[in-house]
Structure 1
Amino acid sequence: MLDHWLVWLVVFLALAFDYINGFHDTANAIATSVSTRAISPQKAVMMTAVLNFAGALVSTGVAKTIGGDLVISPSLINAEVISAALLGAIAWNLITWWYGIPSSSSHALIGGVVGAVMISVGYEALNFAGIGKIFLSLVLSPIIAMVFGYIIMNVLLLLFGRFSPIALNDSFRNMQLLSATLMAFSHGSNDAQKAMGIITLTLLSGGYIDTLDVPTWVKLSCAAAMALGTAAGGWRIISTMGNKIFKLETINGFAADLNSAITIFTATFLHLPVSTTHVVSGSIMGVGTAKRVKAVNWGVARSMVMAWFVTIPLSALMSAVAYAVIQGIISII
């Protein structure tokens, strides 16, 4: 009976993680369009919520990667381990949200799983080849986004640089709505699948399903949780993403969103989880560098990069503590 309730605890925590991911990462899809005033914040949030929901239903490839590549076998872990992993990731997400630091929910989740598995079963249960592939995609994606953001921005300047800034801003305001739409849809297509993968892994390890295929109710509930979280907004991080890295104009916002959407769609197609926070940050830095290297606030960029590096070990530590607390509670019960 306890195992049954622990499985439902995992489902609840995974949906809570998805909800928090929604308002934590709302900035990814709308920060540029809000900061350039291409769309009002309220309309941007609601548009993103709907598109996040739709995007979450298009694929389950990333979910299968998360569910299948973190541990050697689902039989080696249980709901207690995954509950601790989610608690560690949620705690880190809330801390970084409170301080307005655009850290990665994906890194937090991976760190949470690693920490919980190591303290409970041991490192031998971890699938280091799979974790390495996931980690590589998380690390390389913002670098790729920065490079291609720089290239796309330079192409746009080459094509439209002869026009006045006022004319460019007016022309690209509507174009930015299109790129923000693509960005919101791509965000849902990648991020919501991470919670899907965790729930599916739990159901498989508990014997509730026979294969690593994501049940329909899991898809719908994760999509809904992310959409509701997005609707709640994430204004603290929107300020950092939209204003503090680089002062965006509409042509810059269009380039950053378009580049981010292409990068994330490519990762989803390859069944690779990426950090949408890092991809968007990298895109903004690349776009800003195309204008002028000194136009980018590299102090903020440094703080964000530091958050990238510390997220996995600190969320792993938090999940390890959470596992110890869960074990203590179970022993008392």
Structure 2
Amino acid sequence: MATEPQGSQWKTLDKDLNRISQVELAATYVARPLVGPGIALAFIVVAGAVAAVFFGHQPSSFVVIAAAAFGAYMAVNIGANDVANNMGPAVGANALTMGGAIVIAALCESAGALLAGGDVVSTISKGIIDPASVADTRIFIWAMMAALISSALWVNLATWVGAPVSTTHSVVGGVMGAGIAAAGFGVVNWSSMSMIAASWVISPVLGGAVAAMFLAFIKARIIYQDDKIAAARTWVPVLVGVMAGVFAAYLALKGLKKIVSIDMPMALIIGLVVGLVTYVISAPLIRQKSEGMENRNRSVKTLFGLPLVLSAALLSFAHGANDVANAVGPLAAIVHATEFGGFDDKVSIPTWVMIIGAFGISFGLFLFGPKLIRMVGSQITKLNPMRAYCVALSAAITVIVASWLGLPVSSTHIAVGGVFGVGFYREWHMERRLRRIGAKTGEVKRIAKEERRRRKLVRRSHFMTIVAAWVITVPAAALLSGIVFWALNSFVN
């Protein structure tokens, strides 16, 4: 019998071990994308367990447990999609790292939801459907469940595609679709829906116009001045004061409704006082920080870094105070209807429901948020601290103006519209400067189509994807909701 050469056994063993290590490496590589969904699934299960603790004694507790799980799923999707609008500009401008942005956003969103989130939420989503048409408690519960499931699925799909969409519009579409499936088209308040449709145009256009206006002001008063540092010492404290005043009014009006109710005139007075105080404090600080700076645009940009970080944090706080309540509204309605055997147009949100919403947003942000943050911050157009400052300021100003005029607007559409507005303004401004330079030198010539395309500062593919997602959000969520309601009503009962 032939014997193997000495040492060949060890070589064979080394080969086998190498194969095993390669298999382990491949398994780790394949499993890495599943870590995020696995953690999210664990959170959803925990949310269902929390509901079981509170409602395990109820005969229909399985409905609340299922609703809590879907509510947690919805909250995770909000964190993955909606929060990017607040942090994206700051990250794109390199004022914040991705890790820093995620931590600040998670803390501020959770604080906004738990400290200043609404005590009461409209279960019929601002009068979209007539409550009398779904008077049967069972039908009402399935309608709210369908709205919750469909809106969560739609936001999840939009995140996967890379399109920031409005969570509130998704919920509205879900409620409308379930209402139509339950009681027909006559149940929908079409005047309210027409106002929401109008906000698809109003929100981004208003946000883009305000952001472009502030960027034009900064360029004219600071960037194109001979002594940029001296101009910055004059105007940056003014801009910081405006930002502080606007955000104070914004938070007083929209973010502190649980703590105290403030009307528009009082909010504006608060904003004015805070703005003046901030100007007085920031003027000497800006002067001190600008000492020894070179007369360059890069030097001026650093002065906007800290205000931009603070504005992103405040936007996240206000978003947590407002949008989380809208997102968990259907869940709160289901809990109320199950507990009391009926429903009201407005119900209180239990603390444990708000906690699910707050923690779900944090988990979604940590696990899936970077994709949309990069999209908003750097892939639509290039941002620096000044441009990102204009986007953040436009978001707060537009919400205040819209509230004053009684116009329904989406914070998501405003923020992304501000990014588009800054990018399109830069395109227009660059073309204008080139023509002026050409006119002075006598070298005016037609720019080739390829060269014009190369000079575009806003990515048209992202622009079309996002706008298309905005337009179809309500009808897509409504269609999904109608299908889910039909399935629940047909197969569960």
**TM-score of the alignment, normalized to the shorter chain, above 0.5:** yes
CA distance in 2, matches of 1:318, 1:158: 49
Q: How does 1:167-178 map to 2 (within 5 A)?
A: 167-178=299-310
Count of equivalent residues: 331
1:215 pairs with 2:349: yes
CA distance in 2, matches of 1:13, 1:150: 39
The 1:59–1:90 alpha-carbon spacing in structure 2 relative to 1, beyond 3 Å, is closer
Instruction: Assess if the C-alpha contact under 8 Å between 1:15 and 1:225 holds in 2.
Output: yes
Give the Å deviation of 1:269.
8.6
What code does the residue aligned with 1:242 have? G
1:250 pairs with 2:385: yes
Give the Å deviation of 1:194.
0.9
Q: 2:370 aligns with which of 235, 243, 250?
A: 235
Give the Å deviation of 1:272.
7.6
1:12 pairs with 2:12: no
Q: How does 1:151-190 map to 2 (within 5 A)?
A: 151-161=213-223, 162=225, 163=228, 164-190=296-322
Instruction: Assess if the C-alpha contact under 8 Å between 1:66 and 1:194 holds in 2.
Output: no
How far does the alpha carbon of each residue in 1:26-74 deviate from its partner, in whole angstroms, 9 at most, with x for none? 3112111112211111111010011112222425289338544122116
Give the Å deviation of 1:4.
4.4
Partner residue, 2:450: none
TM-score normalised by structure 2 residue count:
0.61
1:69 pairs with 2:127: yes
How far does the alpha carbon of each residue in 1:273-301 deviate from its partner, in whole angstroms, 9 at most, with x for none? 74332111101112223333343334421
Q: 2:471 aligns with which of 309, 324, 328?
A: 309
SS at 2:66 equivalent: helix
1:40 pairs with 2:97: yes
What code does the residue aligned with 1:71 have? I
Calculate percent identity across the aligned residue pairs. 26
Larger radius of gyration: 2
CA distance in 2, matches of 1:128, 1:206: 29
Give the Å deviation of 1:205.
4.6
Q: How does 1:42-191 map to 2 (within 5 A)?
A: 42-56=99-113, 57-60=115-118, 63-64=121-122, 67-73=125-131, 75-76=134-135, 77-161=139-223, 162=225, 163=228, 164-191=296-323
Give the Å deviation of 1:317.
1.7
Structure 2, unpaired ranges of 5+: 1-57, 229-295, 429-455
What code does the residue aligned with 1:52 have? E
CA distance in 2, matches of 1:307, 1:225: 23
CA distance in 1, matches of 2:334, 2:400: 27
Give the Å deviation of 1:270.
8.8
The 1:67–1:206 alpha-carbon spacing in structure 2 relative to 1, beyond 3 Å, is farther
Higher relative contact order (CA 8 A, sep 6+): 1
How far does the alpha carbon of each residue in 1:140-183 deviate from its partner, in whole angstroms, 9 at most, with x for none? 22221111111122222233223322112222222211221222
What code does the residue aligned with 2:484 have? A
Range moving further from structure 2, 142-151 or 222-231: 222-231
1:327 pairs with 2:489: yes
Instruction: Give the root-mean-square deviation of aligned CA atoms.
Output: 2.9
Instruction: Assess if the C-alpha contact under 8 Å between 1:288 and 1:296 holds in 2.
Output: yes
The 1:319–1:210 alpha-carbon spacing in structure 2 relative to 1, beyond 3 Å, is closer
